[in-house]
Amino acid sequence: MNIMTKEQTTAGLNITREQMIQLLNEDLAGEYQAIIAYTVYSQLLKGAAYTDIARELEAHAGEELAHAIKIAKQIDYLGGMPGVTPKPVKTSNDPVAMLRADLENERTTVGRYRERIRQAEAMGEFALSETLRAIIVQEQEHEIDLSAALDINVPPARKPADQTNGRNHVKNGHASRR
For the stretch 116-168, pLDDT in tens is: 999 999 999 999 999 999 999 999 999 999 999 999 999 998 765 444 433 34
Instruction: Tell me what pLDDT residue 2 has.
Output: 52
Residue 63 lies in a domain: yes
Three-class SS of residue 71?
helix
* Residue 177 binned pLDDT confidence (cut-offs 50, 70, 90): very low
CATH number at residue 102: 1.20.1260.10
Mean pLDDT, rounded, of the chain: 87
Instruction: Tell me what pLDDT residue 158 has.
Output: 75
End-to-end Cα, the chain, rounded Å = 24
From CA 173, how far away is CA 175, in angstroms rounded?
A: 7
Residue 172 lies in a domain: no
Bridge-based pairing state of the strands 169-171 and 174-176? antiparallel
Residue 21 lies in a domain: yes
Say whether pLDDT at 96 is over 50: yes
Instruction: Tell me what pLDDT residue 51 has.
Output: 93
CB 59 within 8 A of CB 8: no
Instruction: Tell me what pLDDT residue 172 has.
Output: 40
Burial class (CB in 10 A: 0-12, 13-18, 19+), 177: exposed
Q: What residue numbers bound the domain in which 32 lies?
A: 16-154
Domains in the chain: how many in total?
A: 1
Residue 110 lies in a domain: yes
Phi, psi of 102 (to 5 degrees): -60, -45
Phi-psi region of 159 (alpha: psi -120 to 50; beta: other; left: phi over 0): beta
For residue range 47-82, list pLDDT tens digits in order: 999 999 999 999 999 999 999 999 999 999 999 999
Residue 45 lies in a domain: yes
